[in-house]
Chain A
């Protein structure tokens, strides 16, 4: 049987790709269903990760492999700007001078109401024309810069 380290590495890459394909919204605005989906995914992955290896050594190796790969990805992203953009995506301006950029909002699977919600929560702003910029950040959160 193949090593638990190899299995962990393959699963890391797979999960990374899936979450990346899921887009920013998946991570940033998690609904209850998204949370349940995440739990189901982790349960499905656990079986593939451990296989018949129920040893503590195997579990520790899986954890170390996953954390180590994550550190490596962060180091690569930090050192190479292009890799960072590819791996983590880029911030996106979705509103400029009070005017929502509708195509960008639609492609990001957001709604104008999401910008208003972020504006209310973060800055106590009540209308779009009080916002200079709204930015969909790499982590899926919306930053608001008031006028």
Chain B
């Protein structure tokens, strides 16, 4: 076989097959970048959810990322009197609650639930500052003075 520079032309079909694949890759990358910027993979607009009923609203992130801080904001006019907020204890297996604002007066374990008691709340909101420490699906069961909500969250790796 003669080896010269023209032998490179024999590989041209391989290169030509690659071109559309590369362009498809660029388009996919562009879509991922747009999705990422808008929060499809957590930490942005598309991952935010807000549940609202007459007196209570809960804002949270549907999609979380491992180690990326997030918040759960509970707003309710029921907070004006002494309030008890209950969550399922297994929620804390994958989510670390770093801070609660305002700080609860007491925290009690009751079976498979954690009960936070707020003595007097000046504002109408409670904020949970959370950090995912596990991965996968996670369910939060939230009870506040008769109001109940199931929140499904997904923690990405």
Contacts and interface: CB of A to CB of B under 8 A. Distances in A.
User: Are A and B genuine complex partners?
Assistant: yes
Contacts of B32: 61, 64, 68
Contact of A57 (B44, B66, B69): B66
B33 A57 contact: no
B157 interface: yes
Contacts of B44: 3
A65 B156 contact: no
Contacts of B67: 52-55
A64 to B, nearest CB: 5
A5 interface: yes
B68 A6 contact: no
A74 to B, nearest CB: 10
Interface in A54-108: 54-58, 61, 64-65, 67-68, 71
A3 B29 contact: no
A115 interface: no
B37 interface: yes
A3 B65 contact: no
A1 interface: yes
Nearest to B43: A3
B51 interface: no
Nearest to A56: B157
B66 A68 contact: no
Interface string B28-44: 01101100110101111
A67 B37 CA distance: 15
Contacts of A58: 65, 68
A134 interface: no
Contacts of A52: 67-69
Contacts of A128: none
B26 interface: yes
Contacts of B65: 53, 55, 57-58
A61 B41 contact: yes
A6 B37 contact: yes
Contacts of A3: 36-37, 39, 43-44
Contact of B36 (A4, A54, A56, A67): A4
Given A1-B68, A61-B33, A65-B36, 17 more contacts: A3-B37, A3-B44, A5-B33, A6-B37, A52-B67, A53-B65, A54-B66, A55-B156, A57-B156, A57-B157, A58-B65, A58-B68, A61-B32, A64-B36, A67-B29, A68-B30, A68-B32
